Amino acid sequence: MTPTTHANGARATKGRARDASSSGPRVQSVDQASLLASLLPRLWAFALRISGDTSDAEALVRRACTRSVEQSQRRRENVSPICWMFSIVWAIWSDDLRARGDPKLSYAPWSRAMLEMSDGPGAEEADQSPLHARIIRAVERLPQAQRAVLILVQVEGFDYAETGEVLDIPIESVIACLSRARLTIASTLDHVAAG
Protein backbone atom coordinates (compact mmCIF):
# COMPACT_ATOMS: atom_id res chain seq x y z
CA MET A 1 0.00 0.00 0.00
CA THR A 2 1.43 3.31 -1.04
CA PRO A 3 0.61 6.50 0.76
CA THR A 4 -1.04 9.27 -1.27
CA THR A 5 -1.45 12.93 -0.47
CA HIS A 6 -4.87 14.52 -1.06
CA ALA A 7 -5.37 18.11 -2.16
CA ASN A 8 -6.10 19.10 1.44
CA GLY A 9 -2.76 17.68 2.55
CA ALA A 10 -4.17 14.63 4.33
CA ARG A 11 -2.35 11.35 3.77
CA ALA A 12 -4.11 8.07 3.19
CA THR A 13 -3.19 4.72 1.79
CA LYS A 14 -4.88 3.55 -1.36
CA GLY A 15 -5.60 0.17 0.20
CA ARG A 16 -7.41 1.64 3.19
CA ALA A 17 -9.47 3.99 1.05
CA ARG A 18 -10.54 1.06 -1.10
CA ASP A 19 -11.44 -0.99 1.98
CA ALA A 20 -13.55 1.80 3.44
CA SER A 21 -15.49 2.37 0.25
CA SER A 22 -16.08 -1.32 -0.33
CA SER A 23 -17.38 -1.87 3.20
CA GLY A 24 -20.15 0.74 2.78
CA PRO A 25 -22.59 -1.42 0.79
CA ARG A 26 -21.85 -4.44 2.99
CA VAL A 27 -22.62 -2.47 6.15
CA GLN A 28 -25.78 -1.13 4.53
CA SER A 29 -26.91 -4.63 3.47
CA VAL A 30 -26.31 -5.99 6.99
CA ASP A 31 -28.32 -3.09 8.45
CA GLN A 32 -31.06 -3.63 5.91
CA ALA A 33 -31.14 -7.37 6.60
CA SER A 34 -31.52 -6.81 10.34
CA LEU A 35 -34.16 -4.15 9.72
CA LEU A 36 -36.13 -6.49 7.44
CA ALA A 37 -35.85 -9.28 10.00
CA SER A 38 -37.31 -7.03 12.69
CA LEU A 39 -40.21 -6.04 10.42
CA LEU A 40 -41.12 -9.53 9.22
CA PRO A 41 -43.85 -10.30 11.79
CA ARG A 42 -45.73 -7.07 11.03
CA LEU A 43 -45.19 -7.44 7.27
CA TRP A 44 -46.51 -10.98 7.34
CA ALA A 45 -49.54 -10.01 9.46
CA PHE A 46 -50.37 -7.15 7.08
CA ALA A 47 -49.91 -9.36 4.02
CA LEU A 48 -52.16 -12.00 5.56
CA ARG A 49 -54.82 -9.46 6.47
CA ILE A 50 -55.01 -8.02 2.96
CA SER A 51 -54.68 -11.30 1.07
CA GLY A 52 -56.66 -13.62 3.33
CA ASP A 53 -54.36 -16.51 2.44
CA THR A 54 -51.18 -17.74 4.14
CA SER A 55 -49.51 -18.78 0.87
CA ASP A 56 -50.26 -15.41 -0.74
CA ALA A 57 -49.01 -13.63 2.39
CA GLU A 58 -45.72 -15.54 2.38
CA ALA A 59 -45.20 -14.83 -1.32
CA LEU A 60 -46.04 -11.15 -0.81
CA VAL A 61 -43.53 -10.75 2.01
CA ARG A 62 -40.82 -12.61 0.11
CA ARG A 63 -41.34 -10.46 -2.99
CA ALA A 64 -41.52 -7.25 -0.93
CA CYS A 65 -38.23 -8.05 0.82
CA THR A 66 -36.57 -8.78 -2.51
CA ARG A 67 -37.90 -5.57 -4.02
CA SER A 68 -36.81 -3.51 -1.02
CA VAL A 69 -33.25 -4.77 -1.38
CA GLU A 70 -33.27 -4.12 -5.12
CA GLN A 71 -34.70 -0.62 -4.67
CA SER A 72 -33.12 0.39 -1.37
CA GLN A 73 -31.69 3.56 -2.92
CA ARG A 74 -35.21 4.73 -3.82
CA ARG A 75 -36.51 5.00 -0.25
CA ARG A 76 -37.02 8.62 0.71
CA GLU A 77 -35.41 9.74 3.95
CA ASN A 78 -38.67 11.12 5.37
CA VAL A 79 -40.52 7.80 4.99
CA SER A 80 -40.20 5.32 7.84
CA PRO A 81 -38.95 1.85 6.94
CA ILE A 82 -42.20 0.21 8.06
CA CYS A 83 -44.30 2.53 5.89
CA TRP A 84 -41.99 1.94 2.95
CA MET A 85 -42.18 -1.85 3.37
CA PHE A 86 -45.96 -1.82 3.81
CA SER A 87 -46.25 0.29 0.65
CA ILE A 88 -44.21 -2.30 -1.26
CA VAL A 89 -46.44 -5.12 0.02
CA TRP A 90 -49.56 -3.14 -0.92
CA ALA A 91 -48.22 -2.23 -4.38
CA ILE A 92 -47.34 -5.82 -5.20
CA TRP A 93 -50.72 -7.07 -3.96
CA SER A 94 -52.70 -4.43 -5.85
CA ASP A 95 -50.72 -4.92 -9.05
CA ASP A 96 -51.17 -8.70 -8.90
CA LEU A 97 -54.92 -8.44 -8.36
CA ARG A 98 -55.35 -5.95 -11.17
CA ALA A 99 -53.21 -8.04 -13.52
CA ARG A 100 -55.31 -11.15 -13.01
CA GLY A 101 -58.65 -9.33 -12.72
CA ASP A 102 -59.13 -11.00 -9.36
CA PRO A 103 -62.33 -10.21 -7.45
CA LYS A 104 -60.26 -10.08 -4.22
CA LEU A 105 -59.56 -6.46 -5.10
CA SER A 106 -62.92 -5.71 -3.54
CA TYR A 107 -63.47 -8.66 -1.19
CA ALA A 108 -61.35 -11.27 0.57
CA PRO A 109 -62.54 -13.32 3.54
CA TRP A 110 -60.45 -13.44 6.70
CA SER A 111 -59.01 -16.78 7.64
CA ARG A 112 -58.75 -18.39 11.07
CA ALA A 113 -55.01 -17.55 11.04
CA MET A 114 -55.84 -13.83 10.93
CA LEU A 115 -58.04 -14.15 13.99
CA GLU A 116 -55.28 -15.98 15.86
CA MET A 117 -52.91 -13.02 15.34
CA SER A 118 -54.94 -11.06 17.87
CA ASP A 119 -52.98 -11.78 21.02
CA GLY A 120 -53.97 -8.86 23.21
CA PRO A 121 -55.65 -9.19 26.61
CA GLY A 122 -59.01 -10.90 26.32
CA ALA A 123 -58.37 -11.97 22.73
CA GLU A 124 -59.62 -15.49 23.36
CA GLU A 125 -62.87 -14.27 24.91
CA ALA A 126 -63.37 -11.72 22.14
CA ASP A 127 -62.78 -14.41 19.54
CA GLN A 128 -65.68 -16.41 21.01
CA SER A 129 -68.21 -13.56 21.22
CA PRO A 130 -71.02 -13.21 18.68
CA LEU A 131 -70.26 -9.48 18.34
CA HIS A 132 -66.65 -10.26 17.44
CA ALA A 133 -67.80 -12.66 14.73
CA ARG A 134 -70.19 -10.03 13.30
CA ILE A 135 -67.42 -7.41 13.25
CA ILE A 136 -65.08 -9.80 11.43
CA ARG A 137 -67.77 -10.60 8.86
CA ALA A 138 -68.45 -6.88 8.35
CA VAL A 139 -64.75 -6.09 7.92
CA GLU A 140 -64.18 -8.94 5.48
CA ARG A 141 -67.01 -7.61 3.28
CA LEU A 142 -65.41 -4.18 2.94
CA PRO A 143 -63.89 -3.22 -0.40
CA GLN A 144 -60.15 -3.88 -0.40
CA ALA A 145 -59.10 -0.21 -0.21
CA GLN A 146 -61.40 0.52 2.76
CA ARG A 147 -60.24 -2.63 4.48
CA ALA A 148 -56.58 -1.74 3.96
CA VAL A 149 -57.13 1.75 5.40
CA LEU A 150 -58.99 0.31 8.37
CA ILE A 151 -56.23 -2.24 9.02
CA LEU A 152 -53.46 0.34 8.78
CA VAL A 153 -55.15 2.90 11.04
CA GLN A 154 -57.01 0.72 13.55
CA VAL A 155 -54.82 -2.39 13.73
CA GLU A 156 -51.33 -1.20 12.79
CA GLY A 157 -51.71 2.20 14.46
CA PHE A 158 -50.54 4.27 11.50
CA ASP A 159 -51.61 7.90 11.33
CA TYR A 160 -53.45 9.22 8.28
CA ALA A 161 -50.29 10.55 6.62
CA GLU A 162 -48.48 7.22 7.02
CA THR A 163 -51.52 5.35 5.73
CA GLY A 164 -51.64 7.63 2.70
CA GLU A 165 -47.93 7.02 2.14
CA VAL A 166 -48.37 3.24 2.28
CA LEU A 167 -51.37 3.19 -0.06
CA ASP A 168 -50.12 6.06 -2.24
CA ILE A 169 -53.28 8.07 -1.76
CA PRO A 170 -53.92 11.58 -0.38
CA ILE A 171 -54.86 12.03 3.28
CA GLU A 172 -58.35 13.14 2.23
CA SER A 173 -58.85 9.73 0.57
CA VAL A 174 -57.62 7.98 3.72
CA ILE A 175 -60.15 9.91 5.80
CA ALA A 176 -62.94 9.20 3.32
CA CYS A 177 -62.13 5.47 3.10
CA LEU A 178 -61.92 5.15 6.86
CA SER A 179 -65.19 6.99 7.33
CA ARG A 180 -66.96 4.81 4.74
CA ALA A 181 -65.50 1.66 6.31
CA ARG A 182 -66.65 2.63 9.78
CA LEU A 183 -70.12 3.60 8.53
CA THR A 184 -70.44 0.34 6.62
CA ILE A 185 -69.44 -1.71 9.65
CA ALA A 186 -71.79 0.26 11.93
CA SER A 187 -74.62 -0.12 9.45
CA THR A 188 -73.99 -3.86 9.17
CA LEU A 189 -73.96 -4.26 12.94
CA ASP A 190 -77.11 -2.14 13.30
CA HIS A 191 -78.84 -4.21 10.63
CA VAL A 192 -77.86 -7.47 12.38
CA ALA A 193 -78.99 -6.12 15.77
CA ALA A 194 -82.34 -5.00 14.32
CA GLY A 195 -82.89 -8.29 12.47
More confident of the two residues 153 and 140: 153
Strand boundaries in the chain, DSSP class E? 3-5, 11-13
- Give the pLDDT band (50/70/90) at residue 137: confident
Task: Work out the mean pLDDT of the chain and round it to a whole number.
Answer: 76
Burial-class residue 171 by CB neighbours within 10 Å (0-12, 13-18, 19+): middle
pTM score over 0.85: no
CB environment 49-60: b (16+ within 10 A), e (fewer): bbbbbeebbebb
Q: What pLDDT, in 10s, does the model give residues 106-116?
A: 434 444 444 44
Rounded to an integer, the average pLDDT of 156-167 is 95
Q: Residue 72's pLDDT is what?
A: 83
pLDDT of 23 higher than 60:
no
Domains assigned to the chain: 24-194 (1.20.140.160)
Beta-carbon neighbour count of residue 134 at 10 Å?
16
* pLDDT, position 27: 46
H/E run at residue 106: none
Mean pLDDT of the region 167-186: 94
